[in-house]
Amino acid sequence: MNHFLDIHKTDATDLRAMIDQAGAMKQARLGRPKAALDDEQALKDRMVALIFEKPSTRTRVSFDVGVRQMGGQTMVLSGKDMQLGHGETIADTARVLSRYVDMIMIRTFDETILTEMAEYSDVPVINGLTDRTHPCQIMADVLTFEEHRGPIAGKKVVWTGDGNNVCASFLHAAGQFGFDLTFTGPAQLDPEEEFMGLARQKGSKIVIERDPHKAVEGADLVVADTWVSMHDSQSAKERRHNMLRPYQVNTELMSHAKPDALFMHCLPAHREEEATSEVMDGPNSVIFDEAENRLHAQKAVMRWCLGV
Ligand code: CP
């Protein structure tokens, strides 16, 4: 049994195998008769609990569909409707759920909730996003990049805006998959030093460049994300927008990257804020492939967790 808690906590060889298996399962579903699919029994007779303490569209639907495609069943649970949201401890919740289900995916707030769930669970636990990281998203993003441009190793990724939880998982992936990452954004929103250090220790070139035009020079991939995350105070919205406006990804900024540089955004987006519709709907944008690949990448993650 394996927990999928974070990219830097998962063996790099296993991560590579998951990306390759995700791509193979995706290809197998294109134009193949259902009976010929090798993944449709992988989770037969398995029950997966999907716990959401925060809103979700992609994570909720892609996990639900992924489990069903592999022959399993899901129960989608809202944190506030569980005793977890009314004082029951995480440890007790984990021990009880382990008696009912075969795997737990949780989207939550503080990462200690995730790690405590994993510590007390007898079944695999998957990180569906915490305030600190979002590893499933970046598994999908690596798969998406490689589908379009081949191996991501040695490439230059530029993260624009807020060094948030998604950026953190991109830094973890830089170290594990061997690419470089430049962060461009205001100093107040820099990614955590610890995460940049981890990537550097693995040999990745991690750069902070305040000038977004300089940052995107030579970029193979430019990434934007919402300027105000779910865990950010809404009262800080105006201040954040003022700080982040120079980092908007628009056609002019993209013109400084490589001509074939891809554009990614994990969605949901605030169009015309962190990125313009011209870029999001433009020829270099792969945002909807990213969303689709949540499904395929997470299927591989779940198989790895259960060893099936
Ligand atoms: N990218 C992402 O995690 O989307 P949801 O919040 O809709 O799940």
The pLDDT of residue 36: 58
Mean pLDDT by 10 residues, the chain (308 residues): 97 98 92 68 96 97 97 95 92 98 98 98 98 98 98 98 98 98 97 97 98 98 92 82 96 98 98 98 98 98 98
The pLDDT of residue 186: 97
CA of 291 to the centre of ligand 1 (A): 8
Tokens of residue 56, six digits: 């979700």
Which of 167, 294, 301 best tests ligand 1's pocket when mutated (most atoms within 8 Å of CB)?
294
The pLDDT of residue 39: 81
Please compute Rg for the chain using Cα positions: 19
The pLDDT of residue 34: 62
Dist. CA 146–CA 168, nearest whole Å: 20
The residue whose C-alpha atom lies closest to atom 7 belonging to ligand 1 is 57
Dist. CA 101–CA 149, nearest whole Å: 39
CA of 35 to the centre of ligand 1 (A): 31
Please identify which residue in the block is written with the tokens 């624009």. 160
CA of 217 to the centre of ligand 1 (A): 29
Atom of ligand 1 nearest to the CA of 107: 8
Q: Where are the alpha helices (DSSP H) in 202-273?
A: 212-215, 237-244, 251-254
Atom of ligand 1 nearest to the CA of 128: 3
The pLDDT of residue 100: 98
The pLDDT of residue 33: 64
The pLDDT of residue 229: 79
Q: Per the residue annotation, which of 136, 167, 266, 305 is the catalytic one? A: 266
Asked if 71 and 97 touch (Cβ cutoff 8 Å), the reply is no
CA distances from 161 to 8, 50, 248 (A): 22, 30, 8
